[in-house]
Amino acid sequence: MQITPYDPNREPPGLADPVFQVSDLSVFYGDYEAVRDVTMSIGHRQITAMIGPSGCGKSTVLRCFNRMNDLIPGARVNGKIAYHGEDLYGDHVDPIEVRHRIGMVFQKPNPFPKSIYDNIAYGPRVNGVRRGLDDIVEEALHQAALWDEVKDKLKDSALALSGGQQQRLCIARTIAVKPEVILMDEPCSALDPIATAKIEDLMHNLAQQYTIVIVTHNMQQAARVSDRTAFLTADVDKAGVRHGRLVEYDLTSQIFTTPQDERTEAYITGRFG
C-alpha cells in the first residue's frame, strides 16, 4: 500500500457521496430518550469527530452506526440511518453483516486472551476465511503500524503488549475483516501521549482507505485528526431529563475557528464541559 503523508492543508472534502445519512435520529433506552433528533452525514474516506461533554450521547450515536446498541436490552432507535442509501435498521438487514462492514474500536483496549496472531485472524475466521490467513494478519499489522514491533512474537499472548500496542492490535483486528468504516469510541482515552500520537498518525494513514468516525473527549485530538466535527451537548428538558442533541456539525476548521453556535464556542474555548 502506498502511503502518502497527510497534508493538513488539503482541500476540505465534500459530502457528495456520504457513507451515512442520519436523519432525525433519536435513541431510547427503555423510556429514556438518550439522544434526540440528530441529523448529519458522514463523508466517504473522511475522519469525522464527535465531541461534547460527558453524557451528551456521542457514544450512543456512534454505536448506532454498527448496531452495537442492539445488544443493550431495551435500546431502540427512531428516525433513520441510511448506509449508502439503505436503511441500516430495515427489517431485512442482518446486524452481523453490518458489523463486517462497519468495524469498531473501543475505549479500553480489549484484546482477546489469545495470541497476537489469533486476535487478528479471529475476524476473518468467524467470517469463514480459512486460507491466506498469514497474509491477512501481516497486512493488517502493517496497516496498523504494529508489524515491526510484533513480527517475531505473533504466537505470544496479546495481553503481554503495552496499552498502546494493544489498541493498535485492536485496530489491526478490525482492519483484518476488511471493513469500509471504522468506528472509534474514545480510542486514546486510556493511553499516554506518545501512544496517542501513534494512533493519530495511524488514523491519517487509514483515512486514505477507510471512513473513520471517532468519538473523543479531547478537543485537540478532534482538531488534529478530523475533517469534520460534530458537537453534541445534553439539553435538560422541562421535566429535568437530559437529552443529547447535535448542536453544530461542520468542517473541523470551521468549528474550531468560527463556530456558529455560542454553546460550541463556549465548549471549545473551555468555558464549559
Partner 1 sequence: MTVTVRKTPITAALQGRRRPLEPAFRVVLLASLAIAVVFLGILLAYVVSEGWGRLDSRLWTNFPSKLYPERAGAQSAIVGTVYIIGLTGAFCVPIGVMTAIYLEEYASREHWWNRLIELNIQNLAAVPSIVYGILGLGVLARGLDLGRTLITAALTLSLLVLPVVIIAAREAIRAVPGSIRQGSLALGATQWQTIWRQVLPAAVPGIATGTILALSRAIGEAAPLLLLGAVTHITFNPESVTDAYTVLPIQIFNWIKQPEAEFHTLASAAIVILLAILLLMNSVAIWLRNRYEKRG
Binding footprint of partner 1 on the chain (CB under 8 A): 66, 68, 71, 73, 96-97, 99-100, 103-104, 106, 108, 110-114, 122-123, 126-127, 157, 159, 170, 173-174, 177
Q: Are β-strands 211-215 and 47-51 bridged in parallel, bridged antiparallel, or unpaired?
A: parallel
Calculate the CA dihedral of residues 22, 54, 100, 81 and round it to 10 degrees: -10
| CB nearer partner 1, residue 3 or residue 96 | 96
In three-state secondary structure terms, 151 is coil
Find out whether 50 and 227 touch, Cβ atoms under 8 Å: no
CB of residue 71 to partner 1, shortest distance in Å: 7
Q: Which residue has the cell 477507510?
A: 210
Sign of the torsion angle spanned by Cα atoms 160, 163, 164, 167:
positive
113 or 193, CB closer to partner 1?
A: 113
Return all residues near 271 (Cβ < 8 A) that are at least 6 apart: none
Q: What cell does 45 get?
A: 474516506
CB of 75 to partner 1, least distance (A): 13
Nearer residue to partner 1 within complex by CB, 74 or 193: 74
For partner 1, give the closer residue by CB, 126 or 241.
126
What residues does 103 pair with on adjacent strands?
A: 182
Cα gap 21→38, rounded to integer Å: 10
Strand partners, 82: 21, 87
Q: How far is CA 86 from CA 35, 83, 93, in A?
A: 22, 5, 9
Say how far residue 164 (Cα) sits from the centre of its chain. Answer: 17
Beta bridge partners of 23: 80
Tell me the closest approach of the beta carbon of residue 114 to partner 1, in angstroms.
Answer: 7
CB of 109 to partner 1, least distance (A): 9
Q: What are phi and psi of 172, to 5 degrees?
A: -60, -40
